[in-house]
């Protein structure tokens, strides 16, 4: 019996019938809800042609929607790279055997996990300029806020993944003379990243969606340009929000698909072990 079916009991004949009935019932309820929403919008005139026509115009896409998508992807991509680096560094810091490293790292992670992201972006944009005597561009207000919050969440994910790796692997590495930094880099972190990939991808999807909070500092992303500005010009806020929601879904599905593709490739190739004869080059068993 493989690991994927140990905790799963295949349904019997009665369970299959019950599951089929429940699927049909809930499917019918969802269709009824969608039809009710459609009727309510239709009665209020939300499906009239004039409200949807702006999205058939090339200028609307060129001047508002596409620049909004570009702003969203630019902020998200930058914050993803920085958040992954932040999470990796602070997860290792929290696992350090030196309290002067682990305690400050823990305080930083817990603090930025506790502060609401919207408040953090607001403070970076309007509070930090009083400290540095210089304005903070909206782009960096959004990116820094996303990095600090999501990086702190990822730090806990990485820490859990590293702790989940069997201790025998690190003990064997120490036995052949590898330093703790080398064990982290070659053995623990790669396996932790692979094991926590679903959590990491979920958090990166959250990060991408949270770029919409950049509207608070007037950052030109999809919500600001594709909804607020378009609705202000064409008085179709519901239609603009629906189009923006569809675009967010497409981008998030693309991100999830890319992560699944990378996961399949890593599973096929496997994590390459470090040759034993490199242990001498890596030195004795030091600490982080």
pLDDT at 175: 82
If you average pLDDT over residues 254-274, what whole number do you get? 68
CB neighbour class for 158 (10 Å; exposed up to 12, middle 13-18, buried from 19): buried
Q: Closest Cα partner for 51 from 235, 244, 246, 245? A: 235
Q: Is the pLDDT of residue 120 over 90?
A: yes
> Hey, what domains does the chain have and what are their CATH numbers?
64-269 (1.10.3720.10)
Locate 94 and state its tokens.
Answer: 């929290």
Locate 50 and state its tokens.
Answer: 């004039």
Q: Is the pLDDT of residue 18 over 80?
A: yes
Locate 231 and state its tokens.
Answer: 């609705």
Residue 146: CB atoms within 10 A of its CB come to 27
Q: Is the pLDDT of residue 57 over 80?
A: yes
- 142-154 pLDDT, tens digit per residue, is 999 999 999 999 9
Are 196 and 266 in contact by the 8 Å Cβ rule? The answer is no
% of the chain exceeding 70 in pLDDT: 89
pLDDT at 6: 47
Q: Is the pLDDT of residue 8 over 80?
A: no
Q: What interhelical angle do 197-210 and 138-164 show, nearest 10?
A: 170
- 79-94 pLDDT, tens digit per residue, is 999 999 999 899 989 9
Residue 36: CB atoms within 10 A of its CB come to 10
Rounded alpha-carbon distances, angstroms, from residue 190 to 180, 184, 187, 243, 272: 14, 8, 6, 39, 10
> Whole-number mean pLDDT of the chain?
85
If you average pLDDT over residues 19-31, what whole number do you get? 94
If you average pLDDT over residues 104-129, what whole number do you get? 93
pLDDT at 269: 58
């Amino acid at each position: 019996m493989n690991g994927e079916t140990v905790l799963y009991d295949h349904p019997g004949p009665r369970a299959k019938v019950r599951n089929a009935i429940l699927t049909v019932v809930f499917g019918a309820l969802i269709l009824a809800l969608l039809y009710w929403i459609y009727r309510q919008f239709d009665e209020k005139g939300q499906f009239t042609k004039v409200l949807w026509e702006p999205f058939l115009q090339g200028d609307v896409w060129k001047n508002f929607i596409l620049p909004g998508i570009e702003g969203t992807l630019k902020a998200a991509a930058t914050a993803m790279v920085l958040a992954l680096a932040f999470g990796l560094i602070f997860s290792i810091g929290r696992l350090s055997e030196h309290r002067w490293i682990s305690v400050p790292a823990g305080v930083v992670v817990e603090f930025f996990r506790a502060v609401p992201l919207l408040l953090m972006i607001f403070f970076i944009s309007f509070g930090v300029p009083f400290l540095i005597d210089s304005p903070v561009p909206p782009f960096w207000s959004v990116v820094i806020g996303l990095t600090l919050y999501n990086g702190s969440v990822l730090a806990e994910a990485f820490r859990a993944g590293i702790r989940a790796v069997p201790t025998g692997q690190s003990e064997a590495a120490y036995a052949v003379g590898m330093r703790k930094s080398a064990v982290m880099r070659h053995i623990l972190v790669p396996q932790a990243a692979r094991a926590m990939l679903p959590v990491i991808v979920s958090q990166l999807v959250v990060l991408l969606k949270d770029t919409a909070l950049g509207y608070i500092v007037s950052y030109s992303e999809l919500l600001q340009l594709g909804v607020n500005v378009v609705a202000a010009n064409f008085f179709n806020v519901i239609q603009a929000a629906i189009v923006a929601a569809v675009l967010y879904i497409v981008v998030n599905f693309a991100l999830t698909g890319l992560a699944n593709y990378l996961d399949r490739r890593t599973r096929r190739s496997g994590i390459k072990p470090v040759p034993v004869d490199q242990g001498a080059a890596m030195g004795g068993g030091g600490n982080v």
